[in-house]
Amino acid sequence: MSSIPTQRLGTTGPIVSRIGLGCMGLSGGATPDNLTDEIIARGIEAFRAALAAGITLYDHADIYGRTACEMVFKHCLNAVDGVRERIVIATKCGIRGGYYDLSTDYILKSLEGSLSRLGIDYVDVYQMHRPDPLAHPRDTAKALKRLLDEGLVKHIAVSNYFPEQLRALETYLDSRCIISNQISLSLARLEPFYEGELPWLGSGILDYCMSKEITPLAYSPVGKGWLTGQKPIPDDHPNKVALENTVTELRKIATDKRATPGQIALAWLLAHPAGIIPLVGSNNPEHIADGARAATITLTREEWYALWRAARGKGVM
């Protein structure tokens, strides 16, 4: 197994690799109705590649592949003896067909389904996928406390939460109970650096996470593939020029460090003091290994800000 630097999730969570595997693509686009032995075999191959690269954090959601990704992961766990206790499994709940649901009853029901599909007795990190405007945070917290007390969930977390939404949920939970917040974050999406839910709320979600020692998990860390330099940026993209300039800068730094633009984009996130953990979303063993190597790359302050300026499309003054 390769060595990747590690860190703790939050202040009380498990220690995990600084690169995680986003498992949304583990079923290769298949749903439970069309899963095949070949698709499952590819998922197992990707899992083995992630293990070999030193990745210990595996991020799921009940809606990924319409539950198929969790089902594939059960086969992955069965394929490697003793692996369950060596990794951290995270999953999410709350998105249903056309609406959100973080009611007490639905959270409990969703966790039961995920445990069955994954073939495990507990989830290491249970995440609320998106805030539900119709769920009082008191009721969401009630379900989470029950799952913690019963040992079915070891730690709780959220996804796509703004500062005020986090504060509301924290009001009904023990201090420092929420260990992570998964957000869309990359050089192609800088909003978490400076925006809250509303412009006048002040500090952005990254600042809030640092103030509470909540670990940010970054999904889409290479901007839907655009930051790898391998995927064309659409002509109608509103930030096309800034993205093109960012890719140019990524290529320049990558050449100097004998790396790839995608690896530099991940290293840029890793350099932030919030302790961001990028989630590499792929079922391609080669892409997984390449992503994991980003954890060994160090950027200078000058390199980091060169990318920041390119992505913002303006200087720092």
Q: Is residue 233 part of a domain?
A: no
Q: Is residue 238 part of a domain?
A: no
pLDDT tens, residue by residue, 1-38: 567 999 999 999 999 999 999 999 999 999 999 999 99
C-beta neighbour count of 302 within 10 angstroms: 7
Query: Tell me, what CATH number does 179's domain have?
Result: 3.20.20.100
User: What pLDDT score was predicted for residue 314?
Assistant: 86
- Contact, 313 vs 242, CB < 8 A? yes
Burial zone of 241 (CB within 10 Å; 0-12 exposed, 13-18 middle, 19+ buried): exposed
User: What pLDDT score was predicted for residue 32?
Assistant: 95
User: What pLDDT score was predicted for residue 202?
Assistant: 46
- Contact, 186 vs 269, CB < 8 A? yes
pLDDT tens, residue by residue, 87-116: 999 999 999 989 999 999 999 999 999 999
Q: Is residue 22 part of a domain?
A: yes
Dist CA 220 CA 185 (whole Å) = 7
Query: Which residues are known to be catalytic?
Result: 64
Q: Is residue 218 part of a domain?
A: yes
With CA atoms as reference, report the closest residue to 23 among 62, 78, 79, 52. Answer: 62
User: What pLDDT score was predicted for residue 1?
Assistant: 58
User: What pLDDT score was predicted for residue 194?
Assistant: 78
State mean pLDDT over 222-230.
94
Read off the pLDDT band of 315 (50, 70, 90).
confident
pLDDT tens, residue by residue, 155-193: 999 999 999 999 999 999 986 799 999 999 999 999 898
Provide the token pair at 157: 């977390």
Place of tokens 């957000």: 183
Q: Is residue 210 part of a domain?
A: yes
Q: Is residue 309 part of a domain?
A: no
**Three-state secondary structure call for residue 213:** coil
- Count the alpha carbons within 13 Å of 285 in the hemisphere toward its beta carbon: 11
Task: Find the distance separating the first CA and the last CA of the chain, reported in whole Å.
Answer: 45
Read off the pLDDT band of 316 (50, 70, 90).
confident
User: What pLDDT score was predicted for residue 193?
Assistant: 86
**Exposure letters 136-146 (e unless 16+ CB within 10 A, then b):** ebebbbbbbbe
Dist CA 199 CA 215 (whole Å) = 23
Q: Is residue 84 part of a domain?
A: yes
- Domain range for residue 110? 6-227+264-297
State the total domains in the chain: 1
State mean pLDDT over 123-152.
97
Is residue 200's pLDDT more than 80? Answer: no
Percent of the chain with pLDDT over 90: 91
Q: Is residue 148 part of a domain?
A: yes
- Report which secondary-structure segment, H or E, holds 264: helix 261-270
